[in-house]
Structure 1
Amino acid sequence: MRQFFEEFLKKTAYESLSRSPQEQGIPQPPLELPYSEEAILIPLPAPDTWSIPPADLRKTIEQRRSRRHYEPVPLTLEQLAYLLWLTQGVQKKSNRGVTLRTVPSAGARHAFETFLLINRVKELEPGLYRYIATQHALLRLDAPEDIRERMATACWNQEQVRQSAVTFFWVAVTERMAWRYVERSMRYLHLDAGHVCQNLYLAAESIGFGVCAIAAFHDQKINALLHLDGVDEFVIYIGSVGKPAISR
């Protein structure tokens, strides 16, 4: 195992890096995965319309826990919009052609797409969705009727996926990060995943919901369910969200 880490650290050290596509003058990848021009997007409530009050940051941090057991309580559409905005919300597109968001990312690369398994959200049908961050909107995806069961099975039957109001699946688009950071990208993707999931923890805690971060999942199965190739695009991290069960 030590040999593995030694080799990884050596090959991703600065002195080992290839010349990046950015240095070669190659245009940067799109800021977002494409979707059909005919797709019908579901608009989400904008931040300036929310009724959610500000939260005390210290209190939120101190009471944060990983919460795996949930009551069958739905999220409102406003609450879901709040969670999505605070984890991947686009605040501005800069003159450099990058997005500035509510969460940090190496070089403002923001290499993640957010997919959602929605079980209980008011005004939304259960199923599989994708957050279109640049539009602050949802795109419903085609999925089998038993997608919840398939997703839970691919997460090694972790019950919180079945019982969640919604489960977040963060998908890494490697080209977006590698355009600038080449071999070092894998370090930064995992760092960025931590930033995003921590924001989800704190945002959910501030509205009385809980999160359980999930890194134990069957890579090939979960990627196949989201139609990802597992290399250029792959699930890097998962977070279930639900109303904590009082008795637990």
Structure 2
Amino acid sequence: MNDCKKRREFLKSTLWEMRSDMPTDQKKGLSRPPFEKPFDKNGRIIPLIPVGDIQVGDMPLKEVISKRRSRRKFTDDPITLEELSFMLWSTQGIREVYRDMVTFRTVPSAGSRHPFETYLAVHNVEGLEPALYRYLPLEHSLLFIKKIENMKDKIVEATLNQHFVGYCAVTFIWTAIPYRTEWRYSLTSHKVIAIDIGHVCQNLYLASEALGAGTCAIAAYSQKKMDEFLGVDGEEEFTIYLAPVGKIAE
């Protein structure tokens, strides 16, 4: 129990009381990190449905909130590309790039730092082959990363044998790139990064319900296996949260 009490300090705002005196890379005049992870412009990029053309997701907010719950059983029905576009926009969509300094998105983030990347293990999405992709929020497009042999089984193993995580239409996998927030907030960053990812996943819950689909937030996984699954280094970028999505039976 003593160890638990020590870890509670992470949840408190003690460091914020000292923040004005903390040296940060922003104060040192170092360049801010990019809004999204760099990628090969000649890679395989799949445009998503433009936000202004999306016609799904019009369920009244009150009804969406009343229906929201964790879903672990999905049908074999596919997710459409339009529905996937809506969920990606809902969770990391960019409304405005302000003076090339910050991005204003559909979710809040401390200092508008948005330290996350969204990966998708696509299993059953219309128009997309089963493979690993990454969302490009500035372009509102998908970047094809690679096909993974036995992808469903590997992601189930990496999530400690939670079968439904792989046997769904698409698994959202978020990584954190902590330096995006550390650049501005130094030692106070890690509390707000943990808070920020909750905003992202909650928007996925609401967007999914609005489509007659569902999701379930997953924080129990093998860090090493999930990072290897994505091909990230586990230090400057690492898995922080997952959420499988699929259509739910009425």
Output aligned runs, 1:192-203, within 5 Å: 192-203=196-207
1:21 aligns with 2:10: no
The residue identity in structure 2 corresponding to 1:135 is E
Name the % identity: 41
Deviation at 1:13, TM superposition (A): 4.3
Which range is displaced more, 111-120 or 51-60? 51-60
2:136 maps to 132
2:223 maps to 219
Which range is displaced more, 149-158 or 14-23? 14-23
Alpha-carbon distance in 2 for matches of 1:10, 1:230:
27
Alpha-carbon distance in 2 for matches of 1:53, 1:157:
31
1:56 aligns with 2:60: yes
2:8 maps to 5
TM-score normalised to the size of structure 1?
0.94
CA shift digits 1:43-86 (9 cap, x unpaired): 00011112225221111101111000111010000000000001
1:141 maps to 145
- SS of the aligned residue for 1:71 comes to coil
Deviation at 1:6, TM superposition (A): 3.6
Name the CA shift for 1:53/1:222 in 2 (closer, same or farther; >3 Å): closer
2:177 maps to 173
Output aligned runs, 1:79-158, within 5 Å: 79-158=83-162
Contiguous gaps of at least 5 residues in structure 2? none
Name the CA shift for 1:206/1:10 in 2 (closer, same or farther; >3 Å): closer
Name the CA shift for 1:47/1:26 in 2 (closer, same or farther; >3 Å): same
Contiguous gaps of at least 5 residues in structure 1? none
Deviation at 1:97, TM superposition (A): 1.8
Which range is displaced more, 121-130 or 148-157? 148-157
Name the CA shift for 1:76/1:24 in 2 (closer, same or farther; >3 Å): same
TM-score normalised to the size of structure 2?
0.93
Name the CA shift for 1:22/1:135 in 2 (closer, same or farther; >3 Å): same
The residue identity in structure 1 corresponding to 2:153 is E
CA shift digits 1:93-112 (9 cap, x unpaired): 00152111111111100111
- SS of the aligned residue for 2:241 comes to strand
Alpha-carbon distance in 2 for matches of 1:133, 1:74:
23
Choose which of 20, 41, 47 in structure 1 pairs with 2:45. 41
Is contact 2:132-2:148 (8 Å) kept? Answer: no
Is contact 1:127-1:148 (8 Å) kept? Answer: no
Q: What RMSD over aligned residues (CA atoms) do the two structures have, in Å?
A: 1.7
CA shift digits 1:147-181 (9 cap, x unpaired): 22111110011111121100100111111010101
Deviation at 1:37, TM superposition (A): 2.4
- SS of the aligned residue for 1:150 comes to helix
Alpha-carbon distance in 1 for matches of 2:13, 2:56:
47
